[in-house]
Amino acid sequence: MHTQVAIIGAGPAGLLLSHLLHLQGIESVVLESRSRADIEATIRAGVLEQGSMDILNESGVGERMRSEGALHHGFELSFGGRRHRIDLTALTGKAITVYAQHEVIKDLVAARLAAQGTLLFEVSEVQLHNIDSEAPAVSYQHAGQAQHLQADFVIGCDGFHGVSRPSMPEHLRQDFQRIYPFGWFGILVESAPSSEELIYAQHERGFALVSTRSPSVQRLYFQCDPKDDVNNWSDDRIWAELHQRLENNDGWQLKEGRIFQKNIIGMRSFVTTTMQHGRLFLAGDAAHIVPPTGAKGMNLAVGDVRILSQALNDFYRHGRHDQLAAYTENALKRVWRAEYFSWWMTSLLHTFADASSFQQQMQRAELEFVVNSKAMATALAENYVGAF
Ligand code: RFL
Ligand code: PHB
């Protein structure tokens, strides 16, 4: 089999790239190791920046996002028993949409299949070949058969644990990484939202976050030991912890409900450079990871494939190589900015077990600075909505 662009991974990066290429008349094949049902049910991100919404809308896959997603014009920061609103729209003129990543995935899968796109699920043993030649290839197993896909380009959209990044020559790559000494315990709850807007809470017992998924489902998170086990946390223990971290003296109450999913995620910051070698390009989590505090991961994946689809279009339409050559440089400008913001917001809001009492006071002073200075609040808001 031959295609113009072989895409490894059907996450937001791979599916959106395939969709954008199709709109430009460029054919692609997407190879995904999991089943369609599995990728459409995996609960991950929730926040879309304006720029990500714009791409989904402009490329014709924004209809459900517009009707089912919730537009948020601000969020709240909670600390010291008080809550402070960050008015995103007043400070930046922009907003964000809370719309679950697996819903974006469903919309993109439906669009690719409606356009007769080739999307292969449950492939295994994916291997990349000849990436430094003009005829790269991918071998894999599908439906019990060994397959070989010849392509002009291979795009690694296979997430942090995929095969694409390790297929790049080690001596050409430099990795930058920070692993945080905490994780997030995430739950899905059957209940109406406790708050119309997201609440990011700093508390001496640890960070907590109130988000939503729909008018009847809440998404809540709290900082935990990354090595902890969800089985150590009964529903009662979870609620007691969340009440302590979130409630303050304005009478607001967290709404409880049936908890129907619990998971723990580790937190890391990671960037690999270069994001390309020969005919292999990396996009999204395959190349970089941010801790979820700034809600940037899926938005960075969208940003990468926007740049890459334009560069591939330049190549096929106009025979130009310059935008492809500049891909890593162009993508990394935005990536490092988001890495900085995600690290900063994580540091501002989490409890660090080894922080001295002086460092704790500095964290509190910084929070006061953010909510009391319009300049600081604007900087936070600009970064959060992705106005850069
Ligand atoms: P993905 O989504 O990991 O998709 C990679 C796909 O590749 C497949 N795959 C392979 N396929 C074939 N062969 C192989 N060898 C393969 N190896 C892997 C995988 O099965 C998978 O389907 O990467 P992508 O597309 O780069 O997208 C990145 C985003 O998923 C990620 O950055 C976000 O989920 C991060 N994130 C958030 N981002 C936001 O923008 N806003 C948020 O509010 C937000 N909240 C979050 C988050 C991530 C979280 N977790 C679980 C880490 C909240 C959480 C809890
Ligand atoms: C979510 O709703 O899953 C979510 C929201 C905001 C974040 C991270 C995750 O910063």
Q: Is the CB of 69 under 6 A from ligand 2?
A: no
- Answer whether 211 contacts ligand 1 (Cβ < 6 A): no
Is the C-beta atom of 210 inside 6 A of ligand 2? Answer: no
Does residue 13 sit in the same domain as residue 39? yes
Count CB-CB contacts under 10 A for residue 359.
12
Q: Is the CB of 295 under 6 A from ligand 2?
A: yes
Residue 308: give the domain boundaries. Answer: 2-46+100-173+274-345
Looking at the structure, do residues 242 and 203 belong to the same domain, yes or no? yes
Q: What is the pLDDT of residues 147-176, one digit of tens each?
A: 999 999 999 999 999 999 999 999 999 999
Whole-angstrom CA distances from 31 to 6, 28, 186, 215 are 8, 10, 29, 34
Whether 133 is covered by a domain: the verdict is yes
Does residue 156 have its Cβ closer than 6 Å to ligand 1? no
From the CA of 153, how far away is ligand 2's center (Å)?
A: 33
d(CA 276, CA 7): 14
Same domain, 307 and 357: no
Q: How close is the Cα of 45 to the center of ligand 2, in Å?
A: 6
| Residue 30 falls inside a structural domain | yes
* 253 contacts 235 by C-beta, under 8 angstroms: no
Give 311's contacts (C-beta < 8 A, 6+ positions apart). Answer: 323, 324, 326, 327
What is the C-alpha to C-alpha distance for residues 263 and 107, in angstroms, rounded to an integer?
25
Q: Please work out whether the CB of residue 46 comes within 6 Å of at least one atom of ligand 2.
A: yes
Nearest atom in ligand 1 to the alpha carbon of residue 31 is 12
DSSP E strands, the chain:
2-8, 28-31, 47-48, 70-72, 74-79, 82-87, 96-98, 118-120, 124-129, 137-142, 145-156, 174-190, 199-201, 208-214, 217-224, 258-273, 276-277, 280-282, 288-289
pLDDT value for 254: 94
Instruction: Return the bridge partners of 176, or none.
Output: 271
Answer whether residue 369 is part of any domain. Answer: yes
Spell out the per-residue pLDDT of the chain, length 388, in tens.
999 999 999 999 999 999 999 999 999 999 999 999 999 999 888 899 999 999 999 999 999 999 999 999 999 999 999 999 999 999 999 999 999 999 999 999 999 999 999 999 999 999 999 999 999 999 999 999 999 999 999 999 999 999 999 999 999 999 999 999 999 999 999 999 999 999 999 999 999 999 998 899 999 999 999 999 999 999 999 999 999 999 887 888 999 999 999 999 999 999 999 999 999 999 999 999 999 999 999 999 999 999 999 999 999 999 999 999 999 999 999 999 999 999 999 999 999 999 999 999 999 999 999 999 999 999 999 999 997 6
Q: Which atom of ligand 2 is nearest to the CA of 98?
A: 2
* 167 and 184 belong to one structural domain: no
Two structure tokens written together for 41: 């049910």
Ligand nearest to the Cα of 70, by number: 2
Q: How far from chain centre, in Å, is Cα 284?
A: 8
Task: Tell me the two tokens of residue 103.
Answer: 């819903």
Residues 185 and 320 placed together within one structural domain of the fold: no
Cα gap 13→105, rounded to integer Å: 10
Tell me, yes or no, whether 184 and 167 share the same domain: no
- 52, part of any domain: no
Backbone φ and ψ for 297, nearest 5 degrees, come out as: -55, -55
Q: Indicate whether 148 and 192 sit together in one domain.
A: no
Whether residue 245 sits in one domain with residue 355: yes
Q: Cα–Cα distance between 186 and 294 in angstroms, integer?
A: 16
Do 281 and 275 meet the contact criterion of CB atoms below 8 Å apart?
yes
Contact predicate 28/22, CB 8 Å: yes
Report which ligand 2 atom has the smallest distance to the Cα of 186. Answer: 3
Strands 199-201 and 74-79: parallel
Measured in angstroms, how far is the CA atom of residue 383 from the centroid of ligand 2?
A: 15
Q: Do 38 and 111 share a structural domain?
A: yes
Has residue 147 been placed in a domain?
Answer: yes
Pocket test for ligand 2, best of 52, 97, 209 (most atoms within 8 A of CB): 209
Q: Are 352 and 62 in contact (CB under 8 A)?
A: no
Same domain, 238 and 364: yes
Question: Does 70 fall in a domain?
Answer: no
Closest CA to 267 of 233, 225, 208: 225
Whether residues 210 and 240 fall in one domain: yes
| CATH code for the domain of 121 | 3.50.50.60
> From the CA of 46, how far away is ligand 2's center (Å)?
5
Q: Which residues are catalytic?
A: 72, 200, 292, 296, 384
**Cβ of 12 below 6 Å from ligand 2:** no
φ, ψ of residue 173 in degrees (nearest 5): -110, 145
- The whole-model pTM stands at 0.96
Q: Is 88 inside a domain boundary?
A: no
- Determine the pLDDT at residue 249: 74
User: Using a 6 Å cutoff on CB, does residue 187 contact ligand 2?
Assistant: no
- What distance in angstroms lies between residue 135's CA and the mean position of ligand 1's atoms? 28
Let me know whether 336 and 358 are in one domain: no
How many angstroms is it from 99 CA to the middle of ligand 2?
10
Q: What is the CATH number of the domain that holds 381?
A: 3.30.9.10
Counted domains in the chain: 2
Q: What pLDDT shows up at residue 214? A: 87
Residue 59 lies in a domain: no
Atom in ligand 1 nearest the alpha carbon of residue 299: 40
